[in-house]
Amino acid sequence: MLLGPPGAGKGTQAQRLERAHGLVQLSTGDMLRATIASGSELGEKVKGIVESGALVPDDIIVSMIAERIEQPDCARGFILDGFPRTVGQAEALDAMLAEKGTGLDHVIEMSVEADVLVRRISGRYACAKCGAGYHDEFQKPAKEGVCDRCGSTEFSRRADDNAETVRKRLDAYEEQTAPLLPYYREKGLLRSVDAMAPIDQVTREIENVIAGGEH
């Protein structure tokens, strides 16, 4: 599990772990954006919440994850990116995993100072075709305007990546998600990496934690 505020680099690192370890990235943010894009009734219901920067109710999120982890591609393991985000979600996850006879291997806190988060989020964009993530300053494609991974020339920015919504997302993190740090610390699962470091260095720190080394 990657735990950290908006813009900490959870999605960036989850994509790398997915490729390096053959695990599946489960991003509740991506799932919600796909649901909104589908135009379904549920999508209509959550659109306003996501665009305001508030958290979507636990019952919706928990049933989304419960359904997803039953899919065959999750059998080898998965990376939780952006879930859980409340103590209620964390307790529901514990129950789900216990029922499957499994549990969490690593909970990795990505620690970043608040002032860099807005800069990271406001410069972020992604390939519109394959979802690979980029940044105007920190993570440009090798060839300008062409996705490194799939060659597409179409990119998109998120509707909730504006200054006002980002502030609300940071508040939601402090109030509702930060209590998960003591929750997992007490269980002896929490490890922390310095997510202020350059992207490759953060990847090395995470790999070190996964390998059971010092960090």
- The residues carrying an active-site annotation are 10, 85, 124, 158, 169
Which residue, 59 or 101, has its beta carbon nearer to ligand AP5?
59
Binding residue for ligand AP5 (CB under 6 A) from 124, 127, 183, 184? 124
- What secondary structure, in 3-state letters, does the chain show? CEECCCCCCHHHHHHHHHHHHCCEEEEHHHHHHHHHHHCCHHHHHHHHHHHHCCCCCHHHHHHHHHHHCCCHHHCCCEEEECCCCCHHHHHHHHHHHHHCCCCCCCEEEEECCHHHHHHHHHCEEEECCCCCEEECCCECCCCCCCCCCCCCCCEECCCCCCHHHHHHHHHHHHHHHCCHHHHHHHCCCEEEEECCCCHHHHHHHHHHHHCCCCC
Site for ligand AP5 in 49-108 (CB under 6 A): 49-50, 53-56, 61, 82-85, 89
Q: How far apart are CA 123 and CA 139, in angstroms?
A: 10
Shortest Å, Cβ 206 to ligand AP5: 11
Q: Pairing state of beta strands 124-127 and 133-135?
A: antiparallel
**Site for ligand AP5 contains 127 (CB under 6 A):** no
Binding residue for ligand AP5 (CB under 6 A) from 118, 133, 152, 209? 133
Q: How far apart are CA 94 and CA 123, in angstroms?
A: 35
Binding residue for ligand AP5 (CB under 6 A) from 16, 36, 79, 139? 139
Shortest Å, Cβ 56 to ligand AP5: 4
The residues that bridge with 135 in the sheet, in sequence order, are: 124, 139
Q: Pairing state of beta strands 78-81 and 107-111?
A: unpaired
Binding residue for ligand AP5 (CB under 6 A) from 26, 32, 93, 108? 32
Site pattern 149..188 for ligand AP5 (x: CB under 6 A): -----------x--------x-------------------
Which residue, 101 or 159, has its beta carbon nearer to ligand AP5?
159
**Site for ligand AP5 contains 202 (CB under 6 A):** yes
Shortest Å, Cβ 188 to ligand AP5: 23
Which residue, 172 or 186, has its beta carbon nearer to ligand AP5?
172
Contact residues for ligand AP5 (CB under 6 A)? 4, 6-12, 27-29, 32, 49-50, 53-56, 61, 82-85, 89, 120-121, 123-124, 133-135, 138-139, 160, 169, 195, 197-199, 202
